[in-house]
């Protein structure tokens, strides 16, 4: 189904609170109390009607962000929208999306199937990435802390804040470049609604940045996450950071 279709059916999920105050893809500040949503292709400013297919409840929302990048997931919404549609407890709901009006900006081309779009994200992470201003400042913050530390192994989240490694996670990829690691890390956190850990390690005089998804208390929980991730990242595996 192309981005110009008036009706779409699939899964909806809602943002975690960690995204509160961050910039959305169109430059707005994300707020959980607004009736807004992310869609992979609809023009920013588009108004869509979302209907929970399980209970018939519906609400109109405005598109101001990009995503989600999970198979069968067509929209990410704020908590306020999830409350209106009554799926806070389940976290995910089967919805029908009906376009009420299209926004003024041009839609993002969406002729490729979801698998290809996800492959493109991974490809971009391995090749030079156009840095936006926010990511440049994150990279500077990260490198400053690394340069001022004597340790050869450090852990951060994708906001370049130190993290204590006391959890299980799913390792996704490693990079020689901090910027590429941060860019993919931000995409992963948004797509999977899970915390992302960036590990810095100095190996033979060279920096290595490794991304791991999730901060889970048990291996069993992590195995469930791995099953979901394997669809798009076949080389992913569980790491025990509690040791």
pLDDT in tens, 100-139: 888 775 444 333 333 333 333 333 333 333 334 455 687 8
pTM of the model: 0.53
Residue 95's DSSP bridge partners are 10, 52
223 or 66, higher pLDDT: 223
Are the C-beta atoms of residues 216 and 169 closer than 8 Å to each other? yes
Q: Which residues contact 222 (CB under 8 A, 6 or more apart)?
A: 168, 169, 170, 214, 216, 238
Q: Say if CB 213 and CB 172 are below 8 A apart.
A: yes
Instruction: Label residue 61 by pLDDT band (50, 70, 90).
Output: very high
Give 115-240's CATH code, choosing from 3.30.479.30, 3.30.70.1070, 3.40.50.300, 3.30.429.10.
3.30.70.1070
Neighbours of 137 (CB within 10 A): 12
Give the whole-angstrom CA distance, residue 100 versus residue 48: 5
Distance CA 2, CA 8 (A): 9
Q: Are 65 and 24 in contact (CB under 8 A)?
A: yes
What is the percentage of the chain residues whose pLDDT exceeds 90?
42
> Which region among 35-49, 112-126, 204-218, 228-242 has the lowest average model confidence (pLDDT)?
112-126
pLDDT in tens, 176-210: 888 888 888 888 888 888 899 999 998 888 889 99
pLDDT of residue 38 exceeding 80, the answer is: yes
Instruction: Report, in angstroms and rounded to the nearest whole number, the Rg of the chain calculated over CA atoms.
Output: 19
CATH of 7-111, one of 2.60.40.1230, 3.40.50.300, 2.40.40.10, 3.40.190.10: 2.40.40.10
- Per domain, the residue ranges of the chain are 7-111, 115-240
pLDDT of 37 above 90: yes
């Amino acid at each position: 189904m192309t981005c110009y279709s008036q009706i779409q059916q699939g899964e909806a999920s809602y943002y975690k609170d960690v995204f509160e105050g961050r910039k959305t893809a169109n430059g707005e500040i994300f707020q959980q109390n607004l009736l807004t949503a992310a869609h992979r292709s609809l023009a920013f400013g588009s108004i869509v009607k979302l209907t929970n297919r399980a209970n018939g409840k519906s609400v109109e929302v405005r598109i101001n962000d990009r995503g989600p990048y999970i198979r069968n997931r067509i929209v990410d919404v704020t908590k306020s929208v999830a409350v209106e549609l009554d799926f806070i407890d389940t976290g995910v709901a089967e919805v029908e999306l009906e376009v009420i009006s299209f926004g003024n900006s041009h839609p993002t081309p969406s002729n490729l199937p979801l698998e290809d779009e996800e492959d493109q994200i991974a490809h971009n992470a391995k090749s030079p990435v156009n840095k936006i201003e926010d990511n440049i400042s994150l990279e500077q913050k990260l490198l400053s802390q690394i340069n001022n530390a004597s340790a050869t192994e450090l852990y951060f989240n994708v906001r370049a804040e130190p993290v204590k490694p006391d959890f299980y996670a799913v390792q996704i990829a490693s990079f020689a470049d901090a910027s590429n690691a941060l860019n993919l890390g931000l995409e992963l956190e948004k797509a999977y609604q899970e915390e992302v850990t960036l590990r810095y390690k100095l190996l033979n005089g060279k920096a290595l940045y490794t991304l791991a998804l999730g901060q889970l208390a048990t291996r069993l929980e992590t195995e469930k996450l791995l099953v979901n991730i394997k669809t798009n990242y076949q080389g992913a595996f569980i790491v025990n950071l509690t040791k």
